């Protein structure tokens, strides 16, 4: 406690850091308030069916990512996921289309163009998703809920459809803008923080619901609930190890004498993360798994059949099998675009460094690539296993809402984003010669792996 109080005092002493944290909290407050602003023409007192529909299953996950805005028929109902989907498409195009490859090599100007294209694509995706969301919302609400100021209206007008489609598009763009503002003027990665805040907002409800169900309906009592919490803590610790795990590669720097001073002649280590891609494979894979329910207009999974039903059942075999494979593939994909062994080998060569027993240049790049491949495989498998753990826990009687925090997208994003944000805060403290957040003064975050745009 004393360490925490001292850290808070040090944060308050750094004006820039204090302003950035307050700015971030202000944007988050606006986002949370916006998730309760209901679409015009909808009675907020008649959302029980919609909230029941999104209490579990794939729509429950989508509702959690939006911080409950989906079930509230909010102006932020579609949240940030359309922007994530657009980012996936653009990054995949960067692997296949020369134009996007050229933009990626143009530095800052190319990045701005890519961001602009991503925004346009986000608008297109929301424009396709919004009518499906509105249609599903109408099907879940009684007629009088759509036009509370004129009960004689039994069918929504064209104006209702067009205006709310535009509002949903504007809502997603505003959420995207808030995320970018946090990244530029706040602390942490804004898009990631917005997703994390949405998840945290659902945790208290899931926790209390599981507690009362254990005490009343499911049985097991307090002892079983405590066991569930202990397992959850264990999973959190394993997730932190996954996020922070590294392999150190020794690099020897040759002696160089410039004037009367000697440089080099020391051994250093390059830390290569076991999970260099961070939580991005999880976010990308989850965005793709949302496609089936989006394509069928956010329909209730219980009314679906065939492939649509299989890929909207988050506890089913095929959903989790495909989810597992996608995470492994995206881990390799994101690691490849995050870490460049050729560039690392070239930088070492320029600075007079070499890996003992390995020739500089091409051989060093091949050596680093081999290490990366070997540690990425177990890292990706473990990441995928943690991601599907909620389905396994759900088979043991844990409620779906609470099971989503036993690993899965929720826990990985919470841990990853929290560590990344704390790392940035610690960097500010250490630069001003204050003690960090830990005794060692180091928190391992994900760095560039968390950037989304």
Model pLDDT, residue 453: 46
What are the tens digits of pLDDT across the range 241-299? 776 667 666 776 655 544 555 445 566 677 777 777 777 788 788 878 877 766 665 65
Mean pLDDT of 321-342: 85
pLDDT at 450: 40
pLDDT of residue 451: 45
Dist. CA 135–CA 239, nearest whole Å: 39
Backbone angles phi, psi at 262, to 5 degrees: -105, 135
Question: Mean pLDDT: which of 175-179, 204-208, 315-319, 348-352 is highest?
Answer: 175-179
Give the CATH H-level superfamily of domain 220-453: SecY subunit domain (1.10.3370.10)
Q: Where are the domains of the chain?
A: 19-201, 220-453
**Is the Cβ–Cβ distance between 36 and 139 less than 8 Å?**
no
Rounded Cα distance, 229 and 214, in Å = 12
Q: In CATH, which of 3.40.50.620, 1.10.3370.10, 1.10.10.10, 3.40.640.10 is domain 19-201?
A: 1.10.3370.10
Q: Return the higher-pLDDT residue of 343 and 303.
A: 343
Sole residue written with tokens 């590294």: 246
DSSP state of 250: E
- Whether the predicted pLDDT of 102 surpasses 80: yes
- Fold equal for 19-201 and 220-453: yes
Q: Which two tokens stand for residue 115?
A: 């961001």
The answer on pLDDT for 302 being more than 70 is: no
Could you please report the per-residue DSSP string of 3-66? HHHHHHHHHHH-HHHHHHHHHHHHHHHHHHHHTT-BPTT--GGG-HHHHHHTSSHHHHHHHHHT
What size, in residues, is the chain?
A: 453
> What's the whole-number mean pLDDT along residues 357-362?
82
Any residues with CB less than 8 A from the CB of 86 and at least 6 apart, and which? Answer: 118, 119, 121, 122, 125
Confidence of residue 94 (pLDDT cuts 50, 70, 90): confident
pLDDT confidence band for 154 (50 / 70 / 90): low
- Which is nearest to 419 in space by CA: 271, 285, 237? 237
pLDDT of residue 31: 92
pTM, whole model, 2 decimals?
A: 0.75
Which of the listed ranges 146-150, 192-196, 396-400, 404-408 does the model predict with the highest average pLDDT?
A: 192-196
Share of the chain above pLDDT 70, in %: 79
CB neighbours (10 Å) of residue 248? 10
Highest mean pLDDT, choosing among 151-155, 289-293, 360-364: 360-364
Residue 439 has pLDDT above 60, yes or no: no
Q: What is the pLDDT of residue 17?
A: 85
Res. 447 pLDDT band, cuts 50 70 90: very low
Average pLDDT of the chain is 78
- Work out the percent of the chain whose per-residue pLDDT is above 90: 11
Q: What is the pLDDT of residues 11-70, one digit of tens each?
A: 778 888 889 999 999 999 999 999 999 988 888 887 877 777 777 667 777 787 788 888
pLDDT at 307: 63
The neighbour count for residue 2, using CB atoms within 10 Å, is: 6
Lowest-pLDDT range of 66-80, 111-125, 334-348: 334-348
């Amino acid at each position: 406690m004393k360490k925490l109080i001292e850290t808070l005092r040090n944060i308050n002493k750094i004006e820039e850091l204090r302003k950035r944290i307050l700015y971030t909290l202000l944007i988050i407050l606006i986002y949370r308030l916006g998730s309760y602003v209901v679409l015009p023409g909808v009675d907020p007192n008649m959302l029980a069916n919609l909230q029941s529909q999104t209490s579990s299953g794939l729509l429950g996950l989508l509702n959690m990512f939006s911080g409950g805005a989906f079930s509230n028929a909010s102006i932020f109902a579609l949240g940030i996921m359309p922007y994530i989907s657009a980012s996936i498409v653009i990054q995949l195009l960067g692997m296949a289309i020369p134009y996007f490859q050229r933009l990626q090599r143009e530095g800052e100007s190319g990045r701005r163009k890519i961001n602009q294209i991503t925004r346009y694509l986000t608008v297109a995706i929301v424009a396709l998703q919004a009518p499906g969301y509105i249609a599903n919302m109408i099907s879940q609400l009684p007629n009088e809920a759509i036009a509370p100021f004129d009960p004689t209206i039994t069918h929504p007008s064209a104006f209702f459809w067009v205006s709310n489609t535009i509002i949903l598009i504007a809502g997603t763009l505003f959420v995207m803008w808030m995320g970018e503002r946090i990244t530029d003027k706040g602390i942490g990665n804004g898009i990631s923080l917005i997703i994390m805040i949405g998840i945290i907002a659902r945790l208290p409800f899931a926790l209390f619901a599981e507690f009362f169900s254990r005490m009343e309906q499911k049985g097991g009592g307090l002892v079983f609930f405590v066991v569930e919490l202990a397992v959850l803590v264990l999973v959190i610790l394993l997730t932190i190890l996954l996020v922070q795990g590294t392999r150190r590669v020794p690099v020897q720097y040759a002696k160089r004498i410039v004037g009367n001073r000697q440089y080099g002649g020391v051994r250093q280590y390059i830390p290569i993360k076991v999970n260099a891609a961070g939580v991005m494979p999880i976010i990308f894979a989850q965005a793709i798994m949302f496609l089936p329910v989006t394509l069928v207009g956010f329909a209730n999974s219980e009314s679906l059949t065939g492939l649509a039903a299989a890929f909207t059942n988050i506890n089913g075999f095929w959903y989790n099998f495909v989810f597992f494979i996608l995470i492994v593939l995206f881990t390799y994909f994101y690691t490849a675009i995050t870490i460049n062994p050729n560039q690392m080998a070239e930088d070492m060569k320029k600075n007079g460094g070499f890996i003992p027993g390995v020739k500089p240049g091409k051989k060093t790049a091949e050596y680093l690539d081999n290490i990366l491949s070997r540690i990425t495989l177990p890292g990706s498998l473990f990441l995928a296993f943690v991601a599907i753990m909620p389905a396994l826990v759900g088979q043991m009687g844990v409620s779906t809402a609470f099971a989503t925090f036993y690993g899965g997208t929720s826990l990985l994003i919470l841990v990853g984003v929290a560590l990344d944000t704390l790392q940035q805060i610690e960097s500010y403290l250490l630069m001003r010669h204050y003690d960090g957040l830990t005794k060692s003064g180091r928190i391992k975050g994900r760095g560039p792996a968390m950037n989304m745009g």
